[in-house]
Amino acid sequence: MAKRKTKYVCQECGYESAKWMGKCPGCNNWNTLVEEVAATGGRGNHTFNVGGKPAGKPESITSIESQKEPRITTTMKEFNRVLGGGIVLGSLVLIGGDPGIGKSTLLLQISYQLAEKQLPVLYISGEESTRQTKLRADRLGIKADQLYVLAETNLFDIAKQIEEVKPSLVVVDSIQTVYREEVTSAPGSVSQVRESTSELMKIAKTNGIPIFIVGHVTKEGAIAGPRLLEHMVDAVLYFEGERHHTYRILRGVKNRFGSTNEMGIFEMKEEGLREVMNPSEIFLEERSQGAAGSTVVASMEGTRPVLVEIQALISPSAFGNPRRMATGIDNNRVPLLMAVLEKRVGLMLQNQDAYIKVAGGVKLDEPAIDLAVAVSIASSFRDQPTNPEDIFVGEVGLTGEIRRVSRIEQRVQEAAKLGFKRVICPKNNLEGWTIPKNIEVVGVSTVQEALDIGVSR
């Protein structure tokens, strides 16, 4: 008989302790240590060898032949681009998002698109029965003989079905429900999630089967379970959006087979998710003409330029400490830019409340949006609107200078395509590329220059 002992495992970071502690020494979180029973002997490490191959030997990197990773493309171009061009064979992809945001709907639609190409797909649901999955499929209009549905949480049975079906794609919804019998902790614990993901990774790499796993998120928005989970997989995708809005954003934060920080826009319809091919038009369709405090910025999301409206509201404060609130951008960036405007431009903002919002629910984090935010603040403070046909791009330094940004050519081309007439950008970005004929590009060196051009007194 195997000897058993009790250990305490942190449900956030996986730290193990022989005794219970209120605060985890690994991640400093309180009340996260949970008692688990682990076998210390009498049992070897059991792994599933589905179509296993012998272990390889070390090779010189110069003798390894370079080749392009084979991919499976879906009919959703937005989904393909976020993954770097399609689904890589043998990859393990983790998708996280808030409950009810549409993760299962997205993966069921992707499974249907591959099944229509006569590629067998195995959809494993640990949270719903096959009848519940069928009801969702009926609502989405999904009927495909090559789409197989399995309601199972035992990892050994899942591996056995993968060996029998030999699918071209496997979806596991969700990883927190899957368990291994050899691990004594409850499903969803750190040990179960880690071991189950490890075995699914072996199945994917050994057989060349791409596997998508759904991960729950915590109240802070991070994927539940150990941080190791995100390090083990090949790609991590976050499905974001407001539940009360129809638009959803699929954002890639890690991708071993493509660029990171790519973004795909989808619209939630009654019949499922529909991709939005030109998100700039969506984000600007409700823009008010001639309103003070409104500017448009050309932001880069991965390799794609997106035009987004930034709104600012500056009003006198009724309290001793003025409020600084921001939605869609870093909250710490607002007081920094207001300090630059006060010191370098002379705007008296120290007794003003400031509210900044990125329209459309998009989150922007690149430095190139600084100039647009600063112009919005100045426009609202002076109560003078900007030209609705202007675009502002640039990083603002603490001395009031405008610093160069990346990919200025793509930003200007996107602005010209949507009918904007002028782009105000850093002067250092004007060299080395061809300006389109139907748009004017104005280079500025300081915030004061940009305000003189973009905001009338």
Binding residues for ATP: 97-104
| Contact call for residues 34 and 22 (beta carbons, < 8 A) | no
**Which residues have C-beta within 8 Å of that of residue 411, sequence separation ≥ 6?**
298, 300, 305, 368, 391, 393, 405, 423, 425
DSSP class of 155: H
| Contact call for residues 273 and 102 (beta carbons, < 8 A) | yes
The identity of residue 172, as a single letter, is V
- Distance CA(397)–CA(359), nearest Å, equals 25
| Contact call for residues 238 and 103 (beta carbons, < 8 A) | no
Does the CA dihedral 141-147-151-154 come out positive or negative?
A: negative
| Contact call for residues 126 and 152 (beta carbons, < 8 A) | yes
Known binding-site positions: 97-104
SS3 (DSSP) at 421? coil
Q: What are the helix (H) ranges across 53-146?
A: 77-82, 103-116, 130-140
- Distance CA(95)–CA(11), nearest Å, equals 20
Of the candidates 399, 313, 423, the one whose C-alpha atom is nearest the C-alpha of residue 359 is 313
Residue indicated by tokens 């879906």 = 74
| Contact call for residues 128 and 151 (beta carbons, < 8 A) | yes
